[in-house]
Structure 1
């Protein structure tokens, strides 16, 4: 018996592909993905790429998912490969029973039912009866392209219209009920419509297949929004609205942002934030967080700026703690009071929401404020209770070393906030004591450019894997400082030699050229940006690198870089090369836009830089 699609989908989701493949071949980071030498044919130059849910070799054409990799790498059949991966994932393989076979057939049929229903809803939006729904969507600022991309439709205002329309395609009311589109009447006499007088929002799984629908009522009535019921294909806990489109957006470098509702997701995608998703009427669940981390190591959760938003942020933060690892975390962003993403981009444009994302705080930073909000610390008992709460939160993290770091950070802030002030009274929780002013050297254009070049080289030294994405632009850097220029030239020579993109080996190469002291000094400079830290997340590393690149190059040079990238895009034929050039184009356009907005201001010289 063929296994149920839902079982295989969950098995793939529970099997991280890169660790599985690393048992057979060495992989190195290449942007958000991985690459290495193909385990299926002998090669010296890596052409084997591993993505979040599949692998592909551009040398021999090998392609597939976790199951097909085990089959090919170990010569196993499909049942044996599934059995092995299921055992590792702690999953039980469904038994081959007549009932299971019937469920499987129905699941295959349900995808067809839902696809037919989506087409019917979309057609009805363009009929005279859908005129009010279409006008509503356009009043909300949606373009025709956006309406089409999200498959928006209209349920109709008459009873039984969907069943009547799909009857011609051989679809019965019982099938519509099983797909979550109708429900059986309590008296058992027939079926009634679930969606009536509502704008329809198709809900898709990560592969883009329709699995349910949401609906917003036009005019008065409650509830304003409804989601389809739980079915064999649809689980509110496991799915996110917009996930299929966000996968593509995240692959292209867009930040993954969790907002509240359908219209927020759609408005953000239309405004260029292609990584936006939303839960489906529930608080964010562990299963949904796992889906987010498959897209990015650090998604941004966006909350309202009122008290309810604060409570939601606290719940999400505490729910995430047992799931954190050293390679995945969260950021928390807060919207202006009275705004949601939909209204914010309508009033202030993309720049308004970009400002919200720029203000997002690391979970480790936001957690203290969330846990201490509204909790007094005036008495020894209150302070002891608050201290215990902070320690308990950190102890919820499974990784002991990460838990220790969180515990130290939280308690450091606790002791700083409750330590007696000069007047004899403890300061309020959450407020850090003012640091004494430091004397800084005078800022000159030469020192500023030197500091920018030093920061750029330090980020590259610490994280040489990013050279796979920025190679062409890194080669264009021209540090004014002679020693930095020598270090830059040595790094380029190492890269051209086809070495593995590993920081330790790069440092050894520089040491062999007499640059050990310079390279070590670059990495130990206390004024370096966070992107040069060993624990920096890949997205922050790339963001930091391109920030300093834009500062160092300036507008005129960025325009030249952009023209070269556009020529490379036209001539690129290899899919991997095209993807790299596209990423370069996106980053260069962002850097150029920042220059023109005046956001790429000259940074203050880091303490200790260039002695």
Structure 2
């Protein structure tokens, strides 16, 4: 079966070669290419390369080479049509049906391409003619260089009702082709057809291969619409195309980024200033298909938006549209310009350096989402704080990738914690009075000091050494909640072996996220509200008569913090040692590259964590202890 060229082009644009190859062998980006171990023969040193931009792979060891379709054929043992069908399923593209009308459609497309190319040349000639003087003056005022005029193939549509129509029909293009290509308009009531673009500066719009498929026109005189684009045609679907994408692809690949501006002139100004990796949507908000095109060009496109309300609204629309499509390593950044300034204005007035600074300070998508929800939202009551938290987590629910969703939840939790803290407050030092020691009991309606109970039935049944350490980690935070002021992330990322203790850990984190400046009494109160006082009571031991005395609320904060950091570091090291042992076992059972990499990473993590225990010199002095007891 012969597949239509447009279908094959769309298929390859939606499915990245490196993505498909990466499912078979681990790839590492090196400059403009990817490299890895060849999936077609056994080797210890990588000799396999993938060039995403050019769309081919090659092994210098065994000589295997080909494109996306060939890779699927060679690795899955299928025919060409079957390979196309499998890739179409991945891309979400319906398979074309080979019918006589499809062949006719391909022939029409070829004819339309020829007509659009002739129109582009005619518009270019008009710009250089006497009739194009006004358009040339406009370009001069906008400081558009001659190089940009030439490279973007700018043109001019004269203020004539039928000039283009007559010129192209004289060159053998039929009226029907001109209508189908959107170059002329045929009124319904049977009147004579006329040119769509009149008295406008013309911007050719190309496909990924650089072929003209449509035009955009900027009015130079009075007109109902300042900008006018070609209608949807057999060649042109504006939600799938970006202005300048054919030219920007190479520079985007070289620089590792792509800039998304709002309009034609912004793209031209950026390119003229050295940022030729610039593109723009075509008068609409960025679509899902355009996001996929952008991610094929660079993993984190920068949206460079005008510094006004419309620019901010565009940022919000794009950020919301991107949420379901996010995946590890692929996101968006936003470069927001000063109020009332667009890229063209900034470059003309302040130069390329000012533009570089704006781009370098582009904010990640996570920051835009946070700003969206907190803007003009009061959070001065628990209910309003809860509403903000719910709104942020609702955004996470829209993310389909579980890893991305998990990290966004952690990010928002941390930002909530920071936002709800009292400003300028630091953890309190010194010991508490004995009057605070029974407050857990008071909130839990107990009749004795639960901190000194032994052998409680609520103790968690885990191995004594690890289990008691995990208990002490939580108990220290419960009795010294000031620790959460500066070490929230440490507790949030900690893995505990006991499900019951992990439940308590999550409760402490939730409390600290919403409540700021917690002290012992506050923490006791909130845990009691969650019916966790009994569990906390079960963790208590003879703390004042053992080496665990630092967990006591009366111990100095400095001593409690140092001891807590020490046992947390020990806990992490032991966990990493277990990971290393597991990686060694896996490599012994199955000697694969993936298992070897896992072992290397486990060793690196353990080496990095070793020696991070807290300095406990002088431990106990702040609490009035001259030596450890």
TM-score (norm 2): 0.65
1:456-500: CA deviation from partner (whole Å, max 9, x where unpaired): xxxxxxxxxxxxxxxxxxxxxxxxxxxxxxxxxxxxxxxxxxx99
Aligned to 2:56: 55
Partner of 2:444: none
The question of 1:372 aligning with 2:374 is answered yes
**What residue number does 1:338 align with?**
340
The alpha carbon displacement at 1:23 in A equals: 5.2
Structure-1 separation of matches of 2:170 and 2:79: 42
**What is the rounded CA distance, in whole Å, between the counterparts of 1:365 and 1:50 in structure 2?**
33
Give the 3-state SS of the residue equivalent to 2:165 in structure 1: helix
In the TM superposition, 1:176-575 aligns within 5 A as: 176-253=178-255, 255-419=257-421, 520=608
Q: Partners in 2 of 1:275 and 1:51 — Cα distance?
A: 16
SS in 1 for 2:117: helix
Q: Helix, strand or coil: the match of 2:339?
A: coil
- Alignment partners' CA distance in 1, 2:189 and 2:336: 48
CA 1:142–1:506 in structure 2 vs 1: closer, same or farther (change >3 Å)? farther
8 Å Cα contact 1:122/1:152 also seen in 2: yes
1:10 corresponds to: 10
Residue 308 of structure 1 and its aligned partner are, at CA, apart by 2.7
Give the equivalent residue in structure 2 for 1:106: 108
Contact kept, 8 Å, 2:123 with 2:156, in 1: the verdict is yes
Q: Give 3-state SS (helix, strand or coil) of 1:186's partner.
A: coil
Deviation at residue 414 of structure 1 after TM alignment: 2.6
Aligned to 1:30: 30
Does the Cα contact within 8 Å between 1:391 and 1:407 map onto a contact in 2? yes
Q: Could you say which structure has the greater relative contact order, defined with CA pairs below 8 angstroms and 6 or more residues apart?
A: 1
Partner of 1:468: none
Give the secondary-structure state (helix, strand or coil) at the position aligned to 2:255.
Answer: coil
Distance 1:37 1:403 in 2: 31
CA distance in 1, matches of 2:329, 2:122: 44
Kindly indicate whether the alpha-carbon contact (under 8 Å) linking 2:213 and 2:236 is maintained by their aligned counterparts in 1: yes
Distance 1:61 1:274, change over 3 A: farther
| Runs (4+) off by over 6 Å | 40-43, 502-508, 516-519, 521-525
Secondary structure of the residue aligned to 1:335 is: strand
Q: 1:130 to 1:519 in 2, by over 3 A?
A: farther
Structure 1 alignment gaps of length 5 or more: 424-431, 435-498, 526-611
CA 1:419/1:518 → structure 2, altered by over 3 Å: closer, same or farther? Answer: closer
Residues 67-90 of structure 1: CA deviation (Å, up to 9, x unaligned): 233345566543333223223434
1: CA distance between counterparts of 2:25 and 2:122?
48
Structure 1 pair 74/422, CA: closer, same or farther in 2 (3 Å)?
closer
2:144 aligned with 1:142: yes
Check the 8 A contact 2:200/2:220 in 1, yes or no.
yes
Task: Tell me if structure 2 keeps the 8 A contact 1:17–1:53.
Answer: no
What is the deviation of 1:33?
A: 3.3
Distance between the aligned counterparts of 2:387 and 2:600, measured in 1?
Answer: 49
Alpha-carbon spacing, 1:520–1:377, altered in 2? closer, same or farther (3 Å): closer
Q: 1:553 maps to what in 2?
A: none
The 1:377–1:187 alpha-carbon spacing in structure 2 relative to 1, beyond 3 Å, is same
Alignment check: 8 A CA contact 1:47 1:57 kept? yes
Shift of 1:38: 5.5
SS at match of 2:3: coil
Report the 3-state secondary structure (helix = DSSP H, G, I; strand = E; otherwise coil) of the residue aligned with 1:28. Answer: strand
Q: Which segment is superposed worse, 85-94 or 218-227? A: 85-94
Of 281-290 and 89-98, more deviation after overlay is shown by: 89-98
Q: How far off is 1:199 after superposition?
A: 0.6
**Which residue does 1:174 correspond to in 2?**
176
**Per-residue deviation, residues 364-417 of structure 1 (Å, max 9, x unmatched):** 223211222122223444333222111101111112232122122223323432
The question of whether the paired residues in 2 share the 8 Å contact of 1:258 and 1:299 is answered with yes
CA offset at residue 107 of structure 1?
A: 1.1
Q: Deviations over 1:535-580 (max 9, x none)?
A: xxxxxxxxxxxxxxxxxxxxxxxxxxxxxxxxxxxxxxxxxxxxxx
- For residues 167 and 224 of structure 2, what CA distance do their matches in structure 1 show? 26
Q: Residue deviations 1:208-251, cap 9 Å, x none?
A: 11111000011232211111111111111111111111101112
In the TM superposition, what is the alpha-carbon distance from 1:521 to its structure 2 partner?
7.3
Q: Residues 152 and 522 from structure 1, CA distance in 2 versus in 1: closer, same or farther, beyond 3 angstroms?
A: farther
SS of residue in 1 equivalent to 2:18? helix
1:152-163 to structure 2, matched below 5 A, reads: 152-163=154-165
**Cα distance change, pair 264–175 in 1 and its aligned pair in 2 (3 A):** same
Partners in 1 of 2:600 and 2:409 — Cα distance?
34
- Structure 2 residue runs without a partner (length 5+): 426-514, 518-592, 614-629
Question: 1:31 deviation in Å?
Answer: 3.3
Corresponding pairs, count = 448
Helix, strand or coil at the partner of 2:34: strand
Query: SS state of the match for residue 237, structure 1?
Result: helix
Contact 1:11–1:85 (CA under 8 A) maintained in structure 2 = yes
The answer to whether the aligner puts 1:97 opposite 2:185 as a matched pair is no
Look up the SS of the partner of 1:203 in the other structure.
strand
2:304 partner SS: strand
Partner of residue 67 from structure 1, selected from 69, 90, 94: 69
* Aligned equivalent of 1:473: none
User: Residue 26 of structure 1 contacts residue 37 of structure 1 at CA under 8 Å; is this kept in 2?
Assistant: yes
Partner of 2:130: 128
Aligned partners of 1:272 and 1:221: how far apart in 2?
33
| Distance of 1:519 and 1:214 partners within structure 2 | 59
Between stretches 411-420 and 187-196, larger displacement belongs to 411-420
Helix, strand or coil for the counterpart of 2:369?
helix
Partner of 2:541: none
Superposed CA deviations along residues 88-130 of structure 1, whole A, max 9, x for unmatched, are 4343222222222211211122111111111111111111111
Kept after mapping to 1: 8 A contact 2:32/2:51 = no
Deviates more, 1:403-412 or 1:16-25: 16-25
Deviates more, 1:79-88 or 1:222-231: 79-88
Matched residues in 1 for 2:281 and 2:262: separation?
Answer: 7
Contact 1:123 1:153 in 2 (8 A): yes
Between the aligned partners of 2:192 and 2:265, the Cα distance in structure 1 is: 34
